[in-house]
Structure 1
Amino acid sequence: MRAAGLPRDGYSFSSAICACARAGQPEAAVETFKAMCADDSVEPSSVAFNTALSAAQRASDPVRAAEMVLAIYTLETLSLQPDAWASAAALRALTRLGQRARALELYASLRPEQVSPHTVAAALAAAGPRRDPTALVRIYEAAAAEGVPTTKQTLHAALAACAADASLGGRRALQLLRAAPASAADDHCYSAAIRACATSGETGEAVGLLREMAERGMPPSAHAYCAAICAHRKDGRVDEAIALFSELAAGGAAGRGEAGRGEAG
């Protein structure tokens, strides 16, 4: 910065980082922020930190982007506490680099003010619904108990974990679905819950969720129908599976409603 004739103060550093970010030069943005942290006469700001972090995430190489995010987040000279957004970025970076255990350790070490729906979602992605379903559900439930708002993304991850483990299955999925805000339960969440019911052989519950979707004004998608059909197939109830397929072919819940009115007439 001295070579460019710029004073070494917080404003100049922040401006330089912003300029590098806008110019699509993530490496330069990161190096400038590192220099800012190494300068004893300057106090790094959260704005400069997040700007450098944002620039790093936009690097063309995803692996290099993850490495740069962690390079700034773990700086020994960093004198500020990363916020929830930055912590989520670090969790995603660790997952990208295959360091899932380290990501979960980082999540467990976060302070309450660093935890948000974004950090929870990143931690759930690190756990992975098929890697450790039980741990994933535990993380989700702990966050909900601590008052972190449930989102469609976090609810879906927990329900997908139930679908991946028969010991959790439909029973646990239904508990999670009922405890979540209605606004968080979308078609994808219902489909995952139906798959969970299929995993544990709870066919009646699977169909019940399919009908519940229609009652809520949420026309079941082909994915939801396929999950319910799969539950019947696993249970050996072929005729009912075929009936559901015919219902889907006729227009899903709308087709079922039309058929019902026709029979009533």
Structure 2
Amino acid sequence: MTATLGVPGPVPGSAATRWLRVVPDTMTMTGRALRLARRDPDELLVALLLPTMIMLMFVYVFGGAIEVGTDYLSYATPGVILLCAGYGASNTAIALVQDASLGIMDRFRSMPVAGATVLAGHVLASVAKNLVTTATVLAVAAVIGFRPDAGPLGWLGAVGVVTAYVVAITCVATLVGVVARTPAAAGGLGFFMLFLPYVSSAFVPPETMPAWLRGVAENQPVTPVIETVRGLLVGLGADGAPVTDLGPTAAVALTWCAGLAVVSLAAAAWVFARRGR
């Protein structure tokens, strides 16, 4: 009798088997998160109405009283995009806490599914929803007179930077979602996400702020992201003047986004795994 020698395959349910299914499991979790969002009419309504209301409020209520040296609609539109994206990403934290409170996370841990795919599914679903929100903001802005002069490369770059920002803040929301104990605590992130763009160059030049607040506005992640998107779409800087060299600002913006995404997602995966044990 001869023995057959070979390398044993992965044991069903082992860590190796789970990681071999990372991509299909991530797609499954993404589809689940999108279906849950679709079945929540309140979330869908807010996702469509919030961008419209914020855009109209800033342009028609505040725009006439704010002097930025250029058309206020062109100046504020990138800020409204990031403001709405932040609100949408904060819902990821609430969704994760709700999954934990309903016992779904325990169910996933009992299955041959890598924990990272559960988190990645929520992140990808949030990115997809926020890109729809971004399109809504741009559509409303176009209706009321927003006319960017960007070419195809400018649009591609702007969408890329916005997507990087959405991924970054969704990863931050994911970390909050696995740390928070209640939906109310996770919902507090929504206020922070909405507040952060106000202390930036989103709606007024930082030069108009007090010295101590100006330092915060110029050295937080939202400002370089907004200035990059504004420069790519309409060619304006934080002071409303034309900008010629976006390279350094774009590098800072992408560095912020990459750093926030990597650190937050790694921390979220670590906390998620420890809670599972």
Q: Normalised by the size of structure 2, how large is the TM-score? A: 0.25
Structure showing greater relative contact order (alpha-carbon pairs closer than 8 Å, 6 or more residues apart): 2
Give the greater-gyration-radius structure (CA).
1
Q: Which structure carries more helix by proportion? A: 2
